Amino acid sequence: MRRRLIQSTLAVVLVVIAVFGVSLVIVETRTISSSAQERVDLEAARVASIVDSRLLGTGTVDAEVLKDQVARDRFAVIRIPGEAPIEVGTKPTGDVIRGEAQGERGETVVVQEPRSSVTREVGRTLLIIGLVALLAVIAAVLLAIRQANRLSSPLTDLAETAERLGSGDPRPRHKRYGVPELDRVADVLDSSAERIARMLTAERRLAADASHQLRTPLTALSMRLEEITLTDDPDTVKEEANVALTQVERLTDVVERLLTNSRDPRTGSAVTFDLDEVIQQQLAEWRPAYRGVGRAIVSSGKRQLTAVGTPGAVAQVLAALIENSLMHGGGTVALRTRVTGNQAVIEVTDEGPGVPADLGARIFERAISGRNSTGIGLAVARDLAEADGGRLEMLQTQPPVFALFLSRTPVKKASAEGEEPTVR
């Protein structure tokens, strides 16, 4: 591309120089010839007037008087009636420019100039025109190289950016080139890079969340299946199988929520459900794990509470808080339910050392953990709570108290006929 741009620019400049240069040479040659002829005619007229004045004054004219009146490179012949011709200067050879004038007393003055002087002047003019044309060509080449670099370099950068996007490097370059069309392409590539980066981030986040969220249900399910394999009591097998089926349903719900990645009560996924049922389910699932480490998990507070949300999402939030207490807390873990205003609150606390002071409110940020854990659980739990229209907060650091706030009043969707939505 660079070579084509230089060649095309140079070709245009050469055509322009050829068209205008030839025209200029023709015009200048004619102008120089006309000027030379005019000078010779004027000099002949001037010499004739001098001869007239001499004849009127002294009555005599000679070469000595006129030699200073004729230019050195010219030859003049003065013919006075009844007298011998007077010659001034050296008679030129070859082609000449001839000028003639008549005096008032009948004298004739002829002035000649070698045409070689005109040729020399034309040559100097052609040399100047040639130098100007050469400078124009050099300037055109330099300008073409600059423009070619200005256009080709951005295209090379854009090609490299596109190649990086194709190879999985979605970092936008935010580089602009001062050319509207190329800047538009750069804008599109940067926008595509940002979209790809967001998609890759979402995929990595989904993979991390799936790994974290599925780990606990799978572990609990594995424990239930082990219980089934170790007992011959049909009643125990049936009970453990029912619990395992419940955990499978929870796994299905976890996967569904991970794939949809968000929930909003206005979409119709939120329902009114019994909090006691969800809490008892979590107690049943986590008691074996707590017994295994010599700890207890209990519940207290107001009973027969209902809340608005997705039961599976609320179960995942509670599971994250209970697992967090199992890993980082100590002593008995208590789930307390209460009512504040129009909200149902589930508090999860334990008797451990609490949240380190340097973490504080950052405990809900991703990759923030007090120990060697993923730092994902509480962040995912807060996202799930907010997606259901609730909120997850840390009310106290020592001992730790986490609270899940859920609305107790459903929000109806406005109908297509313009039904007014109810307010919580």
Is residue 208 domain-resident? no
Give yes or no: residues 135 and 268 share one domain.
no
Judge contact between 366 and 376, C-beta under 8 A: yes
Residue 109 has pLDDT above 50, yes or no: yes
Which pLDDT does position 120 carry in this prediction? 86
Residue 50 within any structural domain of the chain: yes
Whether 416 is covered by a domain: the verdict is: no
The DSSP code for 389 is T
241 domain-assigned: no
Q: What is the pLDDT of residue 413?
A: 46
Question: Looking at this protein, which amino acid is placed at residue 176?
Answer: R
**Nearest to 388, CA basis, from 319, 329, 307:** 307
Residue 178 falls inside a structural domain: no
Domain count, the chain: 2
Give all strands of the β-sheet with 75-79 in edge-to-edge order.
Answer: 86-88, 75-79, 108-114, 96-102
| pLDDT over 50 at 276, yes or no | yes
Query: 166 in a domain, yes or no?
Result: no
Residue 215: pLDDT over 90: no
Q: What is the mean pLDDT of residues 84-105?
A: 84
Range of the domain at 129: 2-139
389: left (phi over 0), alpha (psi -120 to 50) or beta: left
Domain boundary among 85, 113, 139: 139
Contact 109, 103 (CB under 8 A): yes
User: 378 in a domain, yes or no?
Assistant: yes
**CB-based contact 250:216 (threshold 8 Å):** no
Instruction: Report how far apart, in Å, the C-alpha atoms of 181 and of each of 62, 100, 145, 178 are.
Output: 82, 69, 20, 9
SS3 of the chain: helix, strand, coil, percent, to 5: 60, 15, 25
374-414 pLDDT per residue, tens: 445 688 788 888 877 888 998 888 888 999 999 987 655 44
**Least confidently predicted of 143-147, 215-219, 302-306:** 215-219
Tell me the angle at which helices 275-292 and 180-229 cross, rounded to the nearest 10 degrees.
70
C-alpha–C-alpha distance, residues 365 and 388, integer Å: 19
| Distance between CA atoms of residues 221 and 216, nearest Å | 9
Give pLDDT, residue 264.
43
70 vs 46: CA distance, rounded Å: 9
Alpha helices for 293-310 (secondary structure H): none
Whether 183 is in a domain gets the answer no
Contact status, residue 389 vs residue 409, Cβ threshold 8 Å: no
Question: Quick one: 235 exposed, middle or buried, by C-beta within 10 A (0-12, 13-18, 19+)?
Answer: exposed
Task: Give the CATH number, domain containing residue 311.
Answer: 3.30.565.10
126-130, 185-189, 245-249: least confident range: 245-249
Q: Considering the chain, what percentage of its residues have pLDDT values greater than 70? A: 83
Query: Tokens at residue 97, please?
Result: 């420019």
Question: Which CATH number goes with the domain that contains 111?
Answer: 3.30.450.250
- CA–CA separation, 152 vs 107, rounded Å? 76
Least confident segment among 109-113, 123-127, 198-202: 198-202
Domain end residue (candidates: 122, 139, 156): 139
